[in-house]
Copies of this chain bind each other. A is one copy, B any other.
């Protein structure tokens, strides 16, 4: 006969995983002391610390982040939303964010909004389930519903790539309008008579660059209406097509400002194909200073954007917010640089 005391065991849910309790037992301390040794070692006696370290190593202990998040209501995760990963501009920003967050033990979840406000809101809803400590968002044109959602969940956010003076939302970027303005001023100073604008994607920041560009032309008494706009993403291929389109519209066009360098590269290739000398018959200016721009033939005049620094600075500001440290300003202008090269 089997013992009637030997009931089948209920609720056996052990994951087999090594836990803080196992480490504590081996190191002959309480679980609480192991937790302290990991988070605030200064509060734990050196001897105990050594025994704990040895036990962790021997057992191959890895802390369970889910348990930590649940108990502390802090996830050490930052949600990052960028418009696109195919655009190396945003990858550079992610690198800046990573370099900044890694120093402070934060991880990040990367989301790609494809420039869609709806998708951005949706991603943020999904990420909220992971209880992120904060968000890094792209642009300043978020939907009201999104603002409410962030406020309800009490999650701080920093906006990147634009400026937002006079607004309480923390923003890190530069003035796209001024950048477009300065390209136009440069082309005017060089003596081009009919500069045109090539715009893709048509996101808000691109439209601001366009606005600055048109403003400078108008101020100089020149025609600001020479342009080709399309909502599709900018690529080299698109640039090759847009050159033909703008020349058809304005045969006298002698310079183009491309809203991104990949468009500019496409224009350059197409000029070569058509036997148009650059900058003699067609000047080309781009935007962002992508890695190849300086090495093209000829080198492409462009706006150097501080995208790595935008990511790094935005992350630093977010960490300050999380620590409730005071900020000097809510709108950080990192500026831009006009790089004049042989294409204009």
Contact = CB atoms under 8 A, between A and B. Distances in A.
Interface in A111-163: 112, 125-126, 128-131, 149, 152-154
Interface in A197-238: 235-237
A62 B153 contact: yes
B236 A62 contact: no
Contacts of A131: 64-66
A269 B295 contact: yes
Interface stretch (A23-31, A86-94, A181-189): A86-94
A95 interface: yes
Interface string A69-113: 110010100000000011010011011001000000001011010
Copies of this chain, count: 2
A266 interface: yes
Contacts of A152: 60
Q: How large is the interface on A (under 10, 10 to 19, 20 to 34, 35 or more residues)?
A: 35 or more
A297 interface: yes
A315 to B, nearest CB: 16
Given A73-B15, A269-B296, A237 B291 contact: yes
A118 to B, nearest CB: 15
A290 to B, nearest CB: 9
**Most chain B CB atoms below 10 A, which of A125, A237, A291:** A291
Given A86-B91, A110-B110, 14 more contacts: A16-B154, A60-B149, A62-B125, A62-B129, A64-B129, A66-B130, A67-B70, A98-B112, A107-B109, A109-B109, A235-B291, A240-B295, A262-B292, A273-B297
Interface of A: 15-17, 60, 62-67, 69-70, 73, 75, 85-86, 88, 91-92, 94-95, 98, 107, 109-110, 112, 125-126, 128-131, 149, 152-154, 235-237, 240, 262, 265-266, 269-270, 272-273, 291-292, 294-297
